[in-house]
Chains A and B, each alone.
Chain A
């Protein structure tokens, strides 16, 4: 027992130092530099307050997020209802297809939609033209295009939270309303919707914050539509470079998302209805009756258009010789794009190596350090463990762009900056929360008595860890590793801010290919990323037994 105490103390000190250096210090620097920048006290704030553009970008961000959230609710709520509470055929497939776009990196979704709906060269517009129309049916480089891509990405937040709430709701609450004489529509109005309202609100908040914080989609689509939001402005301000201004924008972005959080807490914080009963609930399933076929058709067409076709046409495009090749001729297709990005091009091959290396390193360290933190949080009562828990979760709650800026501010003058190591380091900071949360989850399921039983049997602490605790949390550790590996492999938002010039990542390389107009190469690289991510997600599903556990 004596040895365990000292061991715990060493680990405690180690963890605290790591967290303070890697997380607390950058966050502190962000706030500090916004006040005491290079051009004097409060300069950054003076600049942003006096610059009318600031308010345009802030307004653009909020406007986009509000509209995306509105449509996310409009799609997510009914879809969740149909999947959970009706006899819609193929509900498992619907769930899978709805979550599919969500597991892709946002910039891959953006690219998928660009090749589908870009003016003149997008398939939709080419078909439109072939049908004898002139002009474009849809231009993805527009505000509407931005809303479309972001909505289809982020409605999943609403869908998943509402679906979970509906699944857990006690069906007798609705049945009681029917027994009271209410028609199913009135039951929905008076009972179901009010009860899932808090879940709609938290799903909507997630969608709102995700839209505000997203970089990939507004960078690839918004900029060409001349619709600028805070994340893309932070990036371009950094390339001037005007660090003070970027810092000030970052603070503004944090305030925006923080306010959204406050509003949600204020209006729904207390209304979390616990409608769970001890019994396993069997959600009552409504028969769609004669409308079943029509509704199913509608849902599947929607999912085909939003989830399947963009992905498939992305794979298709990845084999195109160039954007203008006629689609009817077999000679238009080639595997050269894949050869180019995977073997020939020096930038993309470097990027592949950089990303694989960084993702491997980051996910391994996050898993190990996350497990250590989780152990202290759950199994010990050391001082400050709740603070450590909270601190480790902050970088994931903040927009990635802001985390990137904070890391620049904190480490620009250190030797690791401008080296390859800054990338895995940044990923560690950003994704530590995944490691902690996942392992906390599995540790909570281990009853204290299991460990005590082993100690009683005469095993010492290390043997107990090895024989009892580790085997029990192993699936959790593996899941945590993959959960970090997947997004870091294709990370764009943080990478593009901190990457050293000679070490682009896959995300950065893809973005640059799009900017340089090397579209088919970008499609090929995106297709590779999409395949890897989907395969990894299938592995995670196997382990955790649940789709879309990521980030929720």
Chain B
């Protein structure tokens, strides 16, 4: 476990949390997800990834949790080069990163609390720890009343919040969210945004892919804009679109 511990021990100020160096992701010769992307994200930062549909935001996130492997270039997370990472270390990487998936990726046959608990069980958390932590995090995302519901008994926004609760229940140092406010009404979006912001204030690095122009403009955080898999803008305290 020692090596994966490094990732969870990384604190703001310890150096970059994420480094992409000349990363290209080719799904097929004619399907390029990312094209020679170079950037770095410091620990403790809050970053928006923006760009039109198909610009490579989800590809970027999938590379981070090594759901896919880069065709060219190196991806470094928490000081670990993912290309050199042995297959059996990947689960430990994924535990150290919290990820809110674009399609929520909930376990269909399990209740809200069982879904969140699974992320703890995977790490070997004790039943006592699970009984304590799950209600706590469900309270934080405002789902305390729904812990026994199944995913298909929840609205999209509620499933979204279960996904966030599961991503954060291990208190990862890096939290990635792929369009966590997509298809949500403005009020719910703001609630989720505030939650991610609070999580960021505890020292967690947050990377959020989004189309939500209003939200990005309001937050005034670092914005990384992609187009056709290429970096077109990387700006601090920025808005969704560049202002000439």
Asked if A and B are interacting partners, one says no
